[in-house]
């Protein structure tokens, strides 16, 4: 009996429960497991099951079941008998074939469970259908001749009609009323007169139309540099196929215009474009730049509510959006006809996720472009050393915009050496006389000022001058920061809060001191020293409420704020032509982190913040206060010398076998029991050491040890975090293949003791 005959026979004559299964599904669960589990698919589910859908299946002991993703279907029965699926949960697959392959690659590369990856990439809101509603839309009827009717129209009706005609597409009724500044009357009248029609459409609840009200400017005339970049890019876009470009363009050089052209080009070919930007840059201004120029835009990022995110996700999946703009997780947008990926500010650390799966959004984007066989464009004023290295060895094509648009110069950068400041009586001030003078000059001339201080809070450490006690978190090895507005002492790592104290908890002396400078204290000082000017602060504390970011930026743009101070939030990507002075209060803050990327980060941050100055016709300058003016990160950022910085830093990285020359993996072992953590870290590091020294190979010689190095174990820089003791070590490997080979041999053989956990971070960014 053939398979088909058998299937027909059984399906018509035997009850479903007794039939022999002919279809099997491989299912992965949200677990750190490397393999899929096979289940029989009952006939009643044959129609419904598909790869990329979620299923409920028995898992674990007893009759427990769990939700997993179906990743493969096959008709050959496995060797041993298997359990049957309980249910198929989705009507439509949540994942395209490309996304399945991409997530499979991620599980391999980052060594985590495929199910863990899938669970992280499909937003919760996409798994249900909440967040849609029906709205009334109005559009002009094109056939209706103007002459016949215009005499009969009131002025209001006339202006509504003009709005509709200019839009050339349906507008949601209430939005139309808002735009025309009228009630429902004139709209109803137009419908009655046969000049417009109304229909209802089911839309996602949260697609905001508000931004459409502004009219974006059309394509600009490219300058010579932009034109030569475009000449290299255009053929690749027309041709399709994988091609990675690195666009290195100084701040204000018009990179966005290149992105927009590239996007328009692929949209014209009926394809979709994905634009990834750092979370911080997802401002209405950014989104606005794409809307209007590029058709329907969907926005994906983690601050959206579930339903809202689900709504955008479905719009993308059903092909209703031509452009998808989003942060890291947008790389998983379920676009079916992707033609281009753009990653703006590709050097940003926020593209790396610091929970499982610990992926880097840019790297996953490059892999996605490879899988989909499409071009990818990475852009930055300060490319990461990894990407620069890839360009140098020909993996990426380097495109350069060396100058700002319209012959605007890069701002002049001056350094203020804090070591040579005359000592002041009274409390130390954050802003030196030189910076104060420059601020006053700029403000008097009608310019706006930005001040960067990359530390939130009021006082950054609280210490007792008598016994030296420093108030630290109960759960972490970190000094608490005093936040005056909320009147709490706060741990910036775990969020632990405690009431501020007057007496030293250690020696009882009542003179405990609140020292160190955070943005809150800076704001108080600036308000005192600049009376009559409007000062606003932008940091993690003031920007908690959704929309507050956008509100402050809008007010700043309108000139309602004179001085905007804040953390790195103010440094990135903003284009405010009236900013004539940018001040950096303390450039050294990030320099002394125990992290091989600290010099690169400082250089990037200073270059980025300097790039905010002088974007308008009146020019601008930058003043950087520092205790280390000769440090290459600071001196070369001041000279706008990316090439010089990269050359110096590359030499340093090469010498120490750091990325981009070698690959890194970081293993962190943690436990509430210090001994247990220490013992397991030793054991694990030892296992790696042994794997590197294979025993005698062939007769005669010792095998050469693999060129992979184990650094550590040692206490992690933040030794105690959230109540856990942490040890870590690193693997340094000349190639990713070798790194993976060693990880795959060593890790599965380990038994992790109870009460101990370990995490693996491939290509780590957080070294604390």
Residues interacting with Zn ion, by CB under 5 A?
Answer: 473, 475-476, 491, 493-494, 496
Strands, DSSP E only, in 484-539? 488-490, 497-498, 513-515, 535-538
Min dist. Cβ of residue 577 to ligand ADP (A): 7
Name the β-bridge partners of 57.
66
Contact 621, 416 (CB under 8 A): no
Name the β-bridge partners of 246.
378, 398
CA separation for the pair 680, 669 (Å, rounded): 7
Q: How big is the site for ligand ADP, counted in residues (CB under 6 A)?
A: 16
CA separation for the pair 171, 723 (Å, rounded): 55
Task: Give the contact letters, 191-230, x = binds to ligand ADP (CB under 6 A), - = no.
Answer: -----------------------------xxxx--x----
**Residue from 131, 254, 326, 411 binding ligand ADP (CB under 6 A):** 254
Residue 251 interaction partner, one of ligand ADP, Zn ion, none, beta carbon < 5-8 Å per kind? ligand ADP
Residue 496 interaction partner, one of ligand ADP, Zn ion, none, beta carbon < 5-8 Å per kind? Zn ion
Q: Lay out the sheet containing 196-204: strands in order across.
A: 171-172, 132-140, 196-204
Residue 475 interaction partner, one of ligand ADP, Zn ion, none, beta carbon < 5-8 Å per kind? Zn ion
Q: How far is CA 372 from the centre of its chain?
A: 21
Name the β-bridge partners of 663.
733
Min dist. Cβ of residue 258 to ligand ADP (A): 8
With tokens 């004023």, the residue in question is: 381
CA separation for the pair 363, 596 (Å, rounded): 20
389-422 CB burial, b ≥16 within 10 A, e <16: bbbeeeebbbbebebbbeebebbebebbebeeee
Kindly state the tokens that stand for 422.
């005359």
- Does 253 bind ligand ADP (CB under 6 A)? Our answer is yes
Contact 725, 670 (CB under 8 A): yes
- Does 249 bind ligand ADP (CB under 6 A)? Our answer is yes
Task: Give the contact letters, 100-139, x = binds to ligand ADP (CB under 6 A), - = no.
Answer: ----------------------------------------
Contact 580, 618 (CB under 8 A): yes
Residue 728 interaction partner, one of Zn ion, ligand ADP, none, beta carbon < 5-8 Å per kind? none
Residue 494 interaction partner, one of Zn ion, ligand ADP, none, beta carbon < 5-8 Å per kind? Zn ion
**Residue from 7, 248, 255, 666 binding ligand ADP (CB under 6 A):** 255
Kindly state the tokens that stand for 99.
């996304």
Region from 140-148, 255-263, 322-330, 550-558 binding ligand ADP, contact rule CB under 6 A: 255-263
**Residue from 119, 157, 251, 568 binding ligand ADP (CB under 6 A):** 251
Contacts of 329 (CB under 8 A, 6+ apart): 121, 123, 300, 301, 302, 361
Min dist. Cβ of residue 708 to Zn ion (A): 34
Q: Please, which residue, 230 or 596, has the CB nearer to ligand ADP?
A: 230
Min dist. Cβ of residue 578 to ligand ADP (A): 12
Region from 148-156, 245-253, 310-318, 466-474 binding ligand ADP, contact rule CB under 6 A: 245-253
Binding to ligand ADP in span 358-417, by CB under 6 A: 405-406
Q: Please, which residue, 410 or 504, has the CB nearer to ligand ADP?
A: 410
User: How many other β-carbons are positioned within 10 Å of the β-carbon of residue 526?
Assistant: 21
Residue 256 interaction partner, one of ligand ADP, Zn ion, none, beta carbon < 5-8 Å per kind? ligand ADP
Binding to ligand ADP in span 143-182, by CB under 6 A: none
Binding site for ligand ADP (CB under 6 A): 220-223, 226, 249, 251-257, 405-406, 575
């Amino acid at each position: 009996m053939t398979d088909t005959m058998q299937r027909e026979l059984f399906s018509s004559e035997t009850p479903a429960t007794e039939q022999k299964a002919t279809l099997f599904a491989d299912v992965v669960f949200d677990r750190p497991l490397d393999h899929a589990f096979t289940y029989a698919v009952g006939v009643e589910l044959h129609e419904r099951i598909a790869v990329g859908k979620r299923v409920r299946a028995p898992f674990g002991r007893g009759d427990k079941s769990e939700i997993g993703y179906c990743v493969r279907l096959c008709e050959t029965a496995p060797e041993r008998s298997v359990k049957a699926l309980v249910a198929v949960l989705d009507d439509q697959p949540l994942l395209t074939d490309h996304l399945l392959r991409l997530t499979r690659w991620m599980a391999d590369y980052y060594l985590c469970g495929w199910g863990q990856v899938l669970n992280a990439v499909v937003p919760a809101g996409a798994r249900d259908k909440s967040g849609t509603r029906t709205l009334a839309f109005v559009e002009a009827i094109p056939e209706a001749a103007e002459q016949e009717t215009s005499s009969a129209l009131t002025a209001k009706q006339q202006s509504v009609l003009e709005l509709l005609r200019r839009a050339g597409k349906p507008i949601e009724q209430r939005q139309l009323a808002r735009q025309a500044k009228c009630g429902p009357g004139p709209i109803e009248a137009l419908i009655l007169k046969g000049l417009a029609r109304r229909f209802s459409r089911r839309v996602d609840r949260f697609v905001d139309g508000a931004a459409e009200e502004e009219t974006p400017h059309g394509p600009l005339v490219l300058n010579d540099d932009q034109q030569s970049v475009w000449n290299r890019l255009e053929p690749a876009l027309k041709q399709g196929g994988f091609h990675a470009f690195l666009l290195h363009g100084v701040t204000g050089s018009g990179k966005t215009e290149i992105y927009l052209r590239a996007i328009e080009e692929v949209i014209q070919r009926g394809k979709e474009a994905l634009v990834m930007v750092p979370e911080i840059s997802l401002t209405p201004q950014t989104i606005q730049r794409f809307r209007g120029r590029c058709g329907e835009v969907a926005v994906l990022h983690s601050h959206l509510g579930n339903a809202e995110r689900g709504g955008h996700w479905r719009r993308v999946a059903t092909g209703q959006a031509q452009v998808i703009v989003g942060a890291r997780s947008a790389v998983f947008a379920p676009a079916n006809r992707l033609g281009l990926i753009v990653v703006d500010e590709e050097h940003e650390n926020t593209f790396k996720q610091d929970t499982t799966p610990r992926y880097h959004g840019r790297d996953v984007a490059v892999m996605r472009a490879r899988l989909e066989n499409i071009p990818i464009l990475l852009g930055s004023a300060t490319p990461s050393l990894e990407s620069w290295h890839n360009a140098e060895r020909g993996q990426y094509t380097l495109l350069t915009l060396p100058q700002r648009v319209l012959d605007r110069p890069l701002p002049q950068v001056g350094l203020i050496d804090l070591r040579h400041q005359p000592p002041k009586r009274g409390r130390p001030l954050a802003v030196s006389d030189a910076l104060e003078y420059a601020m006053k000059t700029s403000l008097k001339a009608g310019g706006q000022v930005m001040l960067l201080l990359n530390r939130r809070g009021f006082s950054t450490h609280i210490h007792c001058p008598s016994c030296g006690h420093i108030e630290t978190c109960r759960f972490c090895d970190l000094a608490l920061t005093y936040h005056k507005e909320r009147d709490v002492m706060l741990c910036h790592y775990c969020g632990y809060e405690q009431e501020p104290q007057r007496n030293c908890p250690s020696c009882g002396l009542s003179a405990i001191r609140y020292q160190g400078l955070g943005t809150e204290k800076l704001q108080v000082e600036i308000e005192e020293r600049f009376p009559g000017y409007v000062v606003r602060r932008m940091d993690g504390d003031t920007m908690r409420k959704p929309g507050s970011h956008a509100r402050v930026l809008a007010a700043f743009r309108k000139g309602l704020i004179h001085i905007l101070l804040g953390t790195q939030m103010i440094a990135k990507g903003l284009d405010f032509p009236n900013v004539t002075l940018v001040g950096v209060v303390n450039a050294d803050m990030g320099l002394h982190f125990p992290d091989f990327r600290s010099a690169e980060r400082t250089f990037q941050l200073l270059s980025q913040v300097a790039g905010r100055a002088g974007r308008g016709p009146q020019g601008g300058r930058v003043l950087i206060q520092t205790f280390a003016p000769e440090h290459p990160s600071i001196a070369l950022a001041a000279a706008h010398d990316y090439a010089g910085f990269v050359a110096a830093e590359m030499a340093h990285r090469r010498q120490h076998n750091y990325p981009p020359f070698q690959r890194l993996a970081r293993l962190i072992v943690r436990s509430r029991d210090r001994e247990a953590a220490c013992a397991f870290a030793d054991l694990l590091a030892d296992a790696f050491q042994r794997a590197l020294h294979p025993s005698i190979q062939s007769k005669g010689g010792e095998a050469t040890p693999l060129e992979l190095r184990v650094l550590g174990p040692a206490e992690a820089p933040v030794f105690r975090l959230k109540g856990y003791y942490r040890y870590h070590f690193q693997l340094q490997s000349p190639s990713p293949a070798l790194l993976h080979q060693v990880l795959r041999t060593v890790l599965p053989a380990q038994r992790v003791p109870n009460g101990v956990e370990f995490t693996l971070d491939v290509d780590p960014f957080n070294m604390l």
